[in-house]
């Protein structure tokens, strides 16, 4: 029987100001315009997972995108026609002050921190999205909503997922994402109904 020791090197959730956290210069994930989409999503809902950081260096292990989004929020951004955020923004009602974000500190070496950063971004360690579940959840917001667009599921993306999933159901095949050629032909198809919930998406 294999014995495993509990990982006692991670602490409970703490708070840190965004200016005190340091990005890992070797982080393999590059961020761009999606940071603004993430910032708008945070302001529409709430701050979710804490940032994970190495205690000794305050270097981020997981959450580089959230840190960049937090900085944008503190600068103030427009969300659905309204200016929100700003330097006095509280990211959570329990935050000890403006600009403070939840952090989980871990006591690891630099090499271990790098390994954790790689694991946090590794596609091989991530699951596969259920397209029908995404479509069902999207109904709450509407297929044309800014919320879904910022998350990355605009109307065209939802239509492509429904068509690909529906074809898989009809063919008795396992779901495969639509190819670029298939997505390019979406404008030619008639209204599509989700094979699970029956919701119809018109073009």
Percent of the chain, pLDDT > 70?
69
Average pLDDT of the chain? 78
Inform me whether the pLDDT recorded for 112 exceeds 90: yes
Q: Estimate to the nearest angstrom the gap between the alpha carbon of 77 and the chain centroid.
A: 19
pLDDT of residue 199: 54
Tell me the mean pLDDT in the region 85-101: 95
Q: Give yes or no for a contact between 130 and 191, defined as CB atoms under 8 angstroms apart.
A: no
- The top-scoring range by mean pLDDT among 34-38, 145-149, 155-159, 163-167 is 34-38
pLDDT for the residue numbered 150 = 73
Going by C-alpha positions, the residue among 137, 176, 174, 169 that lies closest to residue 153 is: 137
The stretch 33-52 carries a mean pLDDT of: 91
Distance CA 184, CA 7 (A): 49
Spatial distance between the Cα atoms of 119 and 112, rounded to a whole number of angstroms: 10
Task: Report the alpha-carbon distance of residue 29 to residue 109 in Å, rounded.
Answer: 20
Angle subtended at Cα 33 by Cα 78 and Cα 88, rounded to the nearest 5 degrees:
40
By C-alpha distance, which of 24, 9, 13 is closest to 58? 24
The pLDDT, as a whole number, for residue 175 is: 52
3-state helix, strand, coil in the chain (%, to 5): 40, 15, 45
Q: Which residue has the higher pLDDT, 81 or 171?
A: 81
């Amino acid at each position: 029987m294999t014995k495993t020791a509990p990982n006692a090197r991670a602490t409970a959730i703490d708070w840190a100001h965004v200016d005190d956290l340091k990005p890992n210069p070797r982080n393999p994930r590059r961020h761009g315009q999606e940071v603004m989409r993430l910032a708008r999503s945070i302001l529409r809902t709430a701050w979710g997972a804490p940032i994970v950081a190495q205690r000794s260096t305050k270097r981020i292990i997981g959450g580089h995108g959230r840190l960049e989004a937090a900085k944008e929020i503190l600068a103030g951004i427009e969300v659905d026609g309204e200016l929100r955020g700003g330097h006095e923004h509280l990211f959570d009602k329990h935050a000890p002050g403006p600009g403070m974000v939840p952090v989980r500190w871990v006591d690891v070496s630099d090499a271990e921190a790098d390994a954790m950063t790689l694991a946090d971004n590794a596609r091989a360690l991530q699951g596969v999205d259920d397209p029908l579940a995404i479509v069902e959840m999207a109904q709450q917001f509407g297929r044309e909503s800014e919320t879904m667009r910022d998350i990355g599921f605009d109307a065209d993306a939802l239509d492509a997922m429904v068509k690909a999933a529906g074809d898989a159901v009809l063919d008795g095949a396992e779901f495969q994402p639509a190819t670029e050629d298939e997505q390019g032909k979406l404008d030619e198809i008639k209204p599509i109904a989700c094979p699970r919930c029956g919701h119809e998406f018109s073009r």
